[in-house]
Amino acid sequence: MANKVFHVMYDDDQKLLDAATALVKQGIQVKDVFSPFPVHGLDPIIGVKRTRLAIASFMYATTGTLLAILGTWYFMIHDWPMNIGGKPNFTWIENAPAFVPVMFEFSVFCGAHGMAITYLLRNGTLPGMPASNPDPRTTDDKFVMEIVTEDNHAFSVTDLEEKIRATEVFELSIKDC
């Protein structure tokens, strides 16, 4: 039997949440959900793991801080000592307060850009990447839940379809995959 993929469309986020709760309760595994906005409370229902994006962002920002320290030391102290306002310019530490704004800004810069690029890469949504959502209406006002038979061997295709149709479905498409 060929594997099949169900694309179950809902027209309201609450209906989607109710359907996901009901299906998961019956032991059906939801592969993914495509929605125009983050649906509050959906992740724990369909078993999406907590994102590690925050940890990545922290590491990017720390890298930024270290790079800024290295940069300020190299440009302002080591390579070409700068005398600004008569401040001592022989050691980095004596000048540190003046470098703090740069360190702060560069940490934020690296943290924010690193996080945004990681996010786009991980989602496969960098500019120019092919769209992977099953229906363009999920970028407007519809929600699509993807369920594949591969994850749900305990159920037959007709059984799955019956259970899915029991929720408040807006549109259902079943394809081979």
Partner 1 sequence: MSQDKLQFQLPSQTKMWTTALMAIGGVSALLGWFADKTEHHQYWWAMLLISGFFFFAIALGILFFYALQYAAEVAWSALLKRLFEAIFSYIPYGLAVVVLVLLVGQFHGHHLYHWMDSSVYDPASENYDEVIAGKHAFFTPWFFWLRVVAYAAVFVGFARYFRKWSLQEDAIGGTEIHFKMYKKGATFLVLFAVFSSTMAWDWLMSIDTHWYSTMYGWYIFAGMWVTAMTMATLILVWLRGKGYYAMMTESHIHDMGKWMFAISMLWSYLWFCQYMLIWYSDIPEEITYFKERYDHYMVAMWVIFFVNFAVPFYSLIARDAKRNTKYLTRVGVIILIGHFADLYLAVIPGTIHGHLLWGFGEGHHASFGWWFEIGMLLGFLGLFLRVVLTTLTKAPLVPKNHPFLQESENHHI
CB 69 within 8 A of CB 106: no
Nearest CB to partner 1, comparing residues 49 and 153? 49
**Residue 153 binds partner 1 (CB under 8 A):** no
Footprint of partner 1 on residues 34-93 (CB under 8 A)? 40-41, 54, 58, 85-87
What's the CA gap between 40 and 2, in Å, rounded?
34
Provide the minimum distance between the beta carbon of 14 and partner 1 in the complex, in angstroms, as a whole number.
14
Provide the minimum distance between the beta carbon of 82 and partner 1 in the complex, in angstroms, as a whole number.
14
Question: Is the CA virtual torsion 105, 109, 112, 118 positive or negative?
Answer: negative
Q: At which residue do the structure tokens 């307060």 appear?
A: 97
Among 124, 130, 8, 114, which Cα is nearest to 61's? 114
Nearest CB to partner 1, comparing residues 1 and 37? 37
Nearest CB to partner 1, comparing residues 54 and 131? 54
Provide the minimum distance between the beta carbon of 41 and partner 1 in the complex, in angstroms, as a whole number.
7
Provide the minimum distance between the beta carbon of 97 and partner 1 in the complex, in angstroms, as a whole number.
5
* CA triple 26-31-35, angle to 5 deg: 105
Provide the minimum distance between the beta carbon of 75 and partner 1 in the complex, in angstroms, as a whole number.
18
Question: CB 75: neighbour CB atoms within 10 A?
Answer: 13
**Residue 119 binds partner 1 (CB under 8 A):** no
**Residue 100 binds partner 1 (CB under 8 A):** yes
Report helix, strand or coil for 140. coil
What is the size of the binding site for partner 1 (CB under 8 A)?
A: 11
Cα Rg of the chain, angstroms: 25
Nearest CB to partner 1, comparing residues 40 and 153? 40
Nearest CB to partner 1, comparing residues 38 and 127? 38
The token duo for 50 is 């907590």
Among 1, 4, 52, which Cα is nearest to 175's? 4
- Footprint on this chain of partner 1 (rule: CB under 8 A): 40-41, 54, 58, 85-87, 97-98, 100-101
